[in-house]
Amino acid sequence: MANPSLLILPGDGIGPEVMAEVRRVIDWFGANRGLVIDVTEDLVGGAAYDAHGTPLHDDTMAKAQEVDAVLLGAVGGPKYDQLDFSVKPERGLLRLRKEMDLYSNLRPAQCFDALADFSSLKRDVVAGLDIVIVRELTSGIYFGEPRGIITEGNERVGINTQRYTESEIARVAKSAFELARRRGNKVCSMEKANVMESGILWRDVVTEVHAAEYSDVELSHMYADAGAMQLCRWPKQFDVIVTDNLFGDMLSDAAAMLTGSLGMLPSASLGAPMENGRPKAMYEPVHGSAPDIAGQGKANPIACILSFAMALRYSYDAGDEADRLESAVNDVLGDGVRTADLLGEDGVEPVSTTQMADAILAKLDATS
């Protein structure tokens, strides 16, 4: 049988430097665990714009459709701020999500015990936290029409449209219920049914899907603003949160910070099953391109490494290997190894991006 395939898109800012470390981790699994993955690499975002004048070349899009999984670093940076909207680095990422139809975006927020003191919230609020935000990723206000900036009378008007079909809501709701069954069996759905028709429909459809197929899962509903408040007040009340594209964007950043650092959080964007039975998938760290620290070897590679762990679990049918990698990360943090984003304790010298990966690889070596 052919090796499983992976398309790596390092992108911009700290993307390339964290991805270089992930490649060492991927190689480790090939050399030590017989899990050889055929890796190809290509450009996305500003890097693709610099080379081709577009943030995602059609050839790259076509490759992404063929592989078993895509692993993306980060896109964007101040250099591209003035570009026309249609060729901004972010458009490359959004095109991948849309054309691969990656409607279910899993954003776990897990608080590693060794890092509970890094959160801006009190230790007992976040220690042991393990929740997942399931964000709808291919519709809603990110893609709704009409959109644009028009002129009305003597002023400009900015327009975006929140639009959801029943089937779009139902499929992401299903993926949240399925996920909950494998975890704490609880789903909280968040919208603004008090002010938005799309929110009323969202609540109705989630309720219907639940009654039809998932009544064994505990379901609750919350307005998204109250949800944001509850996430900060007592996040451990949640297991799986399902929400739309824009609320999910915001709530997942808030949830990320509960864990102490954005530099720690992976994500998986999943679509419909492919011929191999696995979902179409793209994995990416939740953090952005962090232009302020790019190229300095300071970035934390853990979010991207944990994104590869999610690929092991969801795309390569290697849950045991994902566990192995996640434990290695946990152990390294337990040893007090810290990149600069995780400082706070007295007298701890930060390690570089490469040294963090060295430490994780050493833990992996000790396991096999």
Residue 189 marked as a ligand binder: no
Residue 338 marked as a ligand binder: no
Alpha helices in 85-196 (DSSP H): 89-99, 123-126, 166-181
Catalytic residue among 50, 130, 253, 358: 253
Alpha helices in 182-222 (DSSP H): 197-213
Positions 91 through 120 that interact with ligand IPM (CB under 6 A)? 93
Other residues' Cβ atoms within 10 Å of the Cβ of residue 199: 22
Query: Is-contact 166 205, C-beta < 8 A?
Result: yes
Q: Does 136 bind Mg ion (CB under 5 A)?
A: no
Q: Does 249 bind Mg ion (CB under 5 A)?
A: yes
Query: Is-contact 189 214, C-beta < 8 A?
Result: no
Q: Where are the beta strands (DSSP E) in 111-185?
A: 130-136, 144-152, 155-161
Other residues' Cβ atoms within 10 Å of the Cβ of residue 335: 12
How many residues bind ligand IPM (CB under 6 A)? The answer is 3
User: Smallest distance, Å, CB 44 to ligand IPM?
Assistant: 11
Active site residue 253: yes
Catalytic residue among 192, 239, 314, 331: 192
Residue 299 marked as a ligand binder: yes
Residue 184 marked as a ligand binder: no
Positions 294 through 333 that interact with ligand IPM (CB under 6 A)? none
Owner of token pair 């003597």? 154
User: Smallest distance, Å, CB 86 to ligand IPM?
Assistant: 14
Question: CA of 210: how far to CAs of 175, 177, 200, 219, 298, in Å?
Answer: 11, 8, 15, 8, 45
Query: Is-contact 217 187, C-beta < 8 A?
Result: yes
Among 68, 239, 249, 341, binds ligand IPM (CB under 6 A): 249
User: Smallest distance, Å, CB 144 to Mg ion?
Assistant: 18
Q: Does 90 bind ligand IPM (CB under 6 A)?
A: yes
Active site residue 101: no
Note the residues at the interface with ligand IPM (CB under 6 A).
90, 93, 249
Residues taking part in catalysis: 142, 192, 225, 249, 253
Give the interface with Mg ion as residue ranges (CB under 5 A).
249
Q: Annotated binding site for substrate: which residue ranges?
A: 97, 107, 135, 225
